[in-house]
Amino acid sequence: GHGKVAADIAAQIGYTDICFADDHAEGQCLGFPILGGTAHLAAWNDGATDFVIGIGNNAVRKKIAEEYDINWVRLVHPSAQIGLQASIGRGTVVMVGAVINACASVGEHCIINTRAVVEHDNVLEDYVHISPNAALGGTVRVGALTHIGIGASVRNNIDICGGCTIGAGAAVVKNIQDSGVYIGVPARKIK
C-alpha cells in the first residue's frame, strides 16, 4: 500500500519511468511493472536511477536502507507544505496535505503521512513514521524507529525516545523515555 502512494507521488512530481521491486508480488502495480525482488536493487543501481523504499514498517525500511548503497531520494507530494529552513532527509516520503513547518528537521527514510502535521523546530530522527492526521506541536523530538499512530497528538516541547509506538488517537503530554507501546489519553505504556 505505501509503495502505491509513493509511486503516485513520484508520478505527480514528474517521474515517468516508475517500477517496483517486490519480494512478494509479480506483474504490475498501478500499471507500473514489478521487475523483481529487492535482491536486484544493487544491479539496478546505475548512478542515474532514483530509489525510495515503499514500505511502512520502520524496521524493514531501515534494514533495506542499510543493506543497499544506492541513490535514495525524497518524494514530496505537490500539496505538502514545507516551511522555511525545514530539512528533509534522503529516502523520506511526504504525502498529500502534510505540513512540515519552519526549522523542522526530518531524518532519513521517514514517512510523513497524509495530512500529518510536523510543527516548527521538531526533530525527527531516521526511520520515523508519522501516520495520517497525527499532529506534533512545536519543538518535539522523536527518536529513531518510532511510529506515531493515526490521529495521535503530541504536545509541544515533548521528547519521545526511539523505538516507540504511539497508538491511534493517543495524546502524548509528557516526555517518553522508555521504548514501548503507548496508548490512550493521556498516553501510557502498555508493553
Active site residues: 120
Cell triple for residue 9? Answer: 507521488
CA dihedral 60, 65, 70, 75 (to 10 degrees): 80
Q: Measure the CA–CA gap between 44 and 14, rounded to whole angstroms.
A: 20
Q: What strands, in cross-sheet order, belong to the sheet with 32-36?
A: 20-21, 32-36, 27-29
- Separation of alpha carbons 64 and 82, rounded Å: 27
Run of H or E residues at 60: helix 58-67
Which residues share a beta bridge with 142?
124, 160
Give helix then strand counts, H and E, for the chain: 3, 22
Please identify which residue in the block is written with the cell numbers 521538531: 122
- Which grid cell sits at 128? 520515523
